[in-house]
Amino acid sequence: MELWILFGVFTVLMLIGTPIAFCLGVASFATVLYMGLPPLIVFQRLNSGMSVFSLLAIPFFIYAGDLMVRGGIASKIVAFAGSLVGHMRGGLGQVNIATATLFGGISGSAVAEAAAVGGLMIPQMKARGYGADYAVNVTSMAALIALLLPPSHNMIIYSISAGGKISIADLFTAGIIPGLLLALALMITAYFVARSRGYPTEPFPGFAAVAHLFAVAVPGLLLIAIIFGGVRSGVFTATESSCIAVIYALLVTVLVYRQMTWEGFVHATHGAVRTTAMVLLIIGMAAAFSWLMAFLKVPAALIASMNAISEDPLVVLLLLNLLMLFLGTFMDMGPTIIICTPIFLPVAQAYGVDPVHFGVIMILNFGIGLNTPPVGAVQFVACAVGKISVWEAMRSIWPFYGAGIVVLGLVTYIPAISLWLPSVFK
């Protein structure tokens, strides 16, 4: 009965359109009242769920991303990526994916990336005769690369939800090859779709131009090395590196590029406050919700029911993947990770899956969910930038979903794709 109240109140409120944060909070509150526990506990969990030092990385990385967009770092990276891959078939689509890969290594947020790269690329692509649906789908799928490449703040959320015992440096490292694999799969897909639609290529600007554009983009690209090198070597914690990213982005945009204005700074700051307050409130509420689920022994029940279905880890992983893809379609990433990690991770571990490997699988699953209606933040952003409806985008997104699912299958069933690189650093 308690579980019916918890999930029932949540589902009904969500269907009504109540903000997810309040759905989670009120469902937990109602359940606690029904069970006769002190309601204080919900608010105490909400507060303690947010008051975690590692969570500071989320506002910092989002803030750094906003500053980089406002201050011209993003557009320099687009120019550099354009000179590298623009001459391939469907050139601007390839540029879009290459930019997403480079920028994703800096901002780590898929939504911010869809807004940043899409804001720069989609209008250009439409002007050059690419279909708006193609531009939108390439942008929204390429934005998922950011989730896998360091610094992915979702990996930090995963590490916290797993009780903080999984090394963030290992998670960051484990995501690199899957991220590059996704980039490759998307570039191949974008190539074939562009060829069948007869999209143009851009002329190759020559090596001198590439070198020049690279030199201009270097201050921005250096950030990748600073963040990854700092965390990997243990010089900074992940949280500290995110703070360094903010300061570095400010220094580069103010002193080197000189494109940051006071208005730009205020806008970036307020934008970061709005985005992170929304994300972190949901995370706090999800912490209360997830505590109740553990209290009601949901994880144990799930392991038991999985056991009843199959003993084979491959089948269980497939089931977990399908379940996560389904959940990902109507929930946003942060809260889904917080709610699902304590439930699914013990199941996966019971079947011998490495927690770092499982983190990569989970993030890729929920990432694809960011690109599916009804709740797909990345897809919404890309569609809004491209000025088309979600349904128009859905009509031609299937090859790109296909690429995502193939990568998901490879990452799920070949653990070495995720686990080899971290083992090199040990």
Partner 1 sequence: MTSSSEQRPPLSGIARVMSRVSTAALWIAGVGLVLMTAFVAWQVFGRYVLNRSPSWTEQGSVMLMSWFIFLGAAVGVRENYHLGFDVLLYVLPKGGKRWLRMISDLVALAFGIGMIWYGSQLVALTWGATLPSLGISGGWDYVPLVAGGALIVLFTLERIVLRLSGAPIDDALDELPPAEVAAELDTANVKV
Closest alpha carbon to 105 in 139, 74, 136 = 74
Residue 255 touches partner 1, criterion: CB under 8 A? no
Residue 105 touches partner 1, criterion: CB under 8 A? no
Residue 336 touches partner 1, criterion: CB under 8 A? no
For the bound state, the minimum distance from the C-beta of residue 151 to partner 1, rounded and expressed in Å, comes to 15
The verdict on whether omega for the bond into residue 373 sits within 30 degrees of 0, i.e. cis, is no
Q: Which amino acid is at 183?
A: A
Residue 275 touches partner 1, criterion: CB under 8 A? yes
Closer by beta carbon to partner 1, 345 or else 377: 377
For the bound state, the minimum distance from the C-beta of residue 237 to partner 1, rounded and expressed in Å, comes to 9
CA–centroid distance for 204 within its chain = 32
- Rule CB under 8 A: which of 171-190 touch partner 1? none
Beta strands in 234-301 (DSSP E): none
Residue 15 touches partner 1, criterion: CB under 8 A? yes
CA dihedral over 151, 153, 158, 160, signed as positive or negative: positive
For the bound state, the minimum distance from the C-beta of residue 51 to partner 1, rounded and expressed in Å, comes to 5
- Rule CB under 8 A: which of 354-373 touch partner 1? 373
Q: Annotate 327-386 with DSSP letters as a single string.
A: HHHHS-HHHHHHHHHHHHHHHHHHTT--HHHHHHHHHHHHHHHTTSSSS-HHHHHHHHHH
How far apart CA 45 and CA 289 sit, in angstroms, is 9
Per-residue contact string for residues 205-224; x = within reach of partner 1 by CB under 8 A: --------------------
Q: Which part of the chain contacts partner 1 (CB under 8 A), choosing from 184-192, 197-205, 293-301, 383-391?
A: 383-391
For the bound state, the minimum distance from the C-beta of residue 369 to partner 1, rounded and expressed in Å, comes to 13
Give yes or no for a contact between 185 and 141, defined as CB atoms under 8 angstroms apart: no
Residue 13 touches partner 1, criterion: CB under 8 A? yes
**Half-sphere exposure at residue 138, Cβ-oriented, CA atoms within 13 angstroms:** 34
Give yes or no for a contact between 286 and 339, defined as CB atoms under 8 angstroms apart: yes
Closest alpha carbon to 336 in 161, 146, 140 = 161
Residue 252 tokens, joined: 């580069």
Residue 332 touches partner 1, criterion: CB under 8 A? yes
Instruction: With CB under 8 A as the rule, give the number of residues binding partner 1.
Output: 75
Q: Which part of the chain contacts partner 1 (CB under 8 A), choosing from 170-178, 192-200, 238-246, 338-346?
A: 238-246
Closer by beta carbon to partner 1, 105 or else 271: 271
How far apart CA 122 and CA 115 sit, in angstroms, is 10
* Cβ-based neighbour number of residue 192 at 10 Å: 12
Residue 100 touches partner 1, criterion: CB under 8 A? no
Closer by beta carbon to partner 1, 319 or else 375: 375
Residue 32 touches partner 1, criterion: CB under 8 A? no
Q: Which part of the chain contacts partner 1 (CB under 8 A), choosing from 196-204, 288-296, 318-326, 384-392?
A: 384-392
How far apart CA 217 and CA 102 sit, in angstroms, is 10
Select the residue interacting with partner 1 from 3, 184, 222, 278 (CB under 8 A): 278
Residue 47 touches partner 1, criterion: CB under 8 A? yes
Select the residue interacting with partner 1 from 319, 375, 405, 421 (CB under 8 A): 375
- Rule CB under 8 A: which of 109-168 touch partner 1? 111-112, 114-116, 118-119
For the bound state, the minimum distance from the C-beta of residue 390 to partner 1, rounded and expressed in Å, comes to 9
The CA distances from residue 113 to 108, 141, 205, in Å, are: 8, 11, 26
Residue 43 touches partner 1, criterion: CB under 8 A? yes
Residue 234 touches partner 1, criterion: CB under 8 A? no
Select the residue interacting with partner 1 from 339, 380, 415, 422 (CB under 8 A): 380
The CA distances from residue 310 to 151, 217, 351, in Å, are: 36, 52, 11
How far apart CA 392 and CA 292 sit, in angstroms, is 40
Residue 36 touches partner 1, criterion: CB under 8 A? no
Per-residue contact string for residues 61-80; x = within reach of partner 1 by CB under 8 A: --x-xx--xx----------
Residue 249 touches partner 1, criterion: CB under 8 A? no
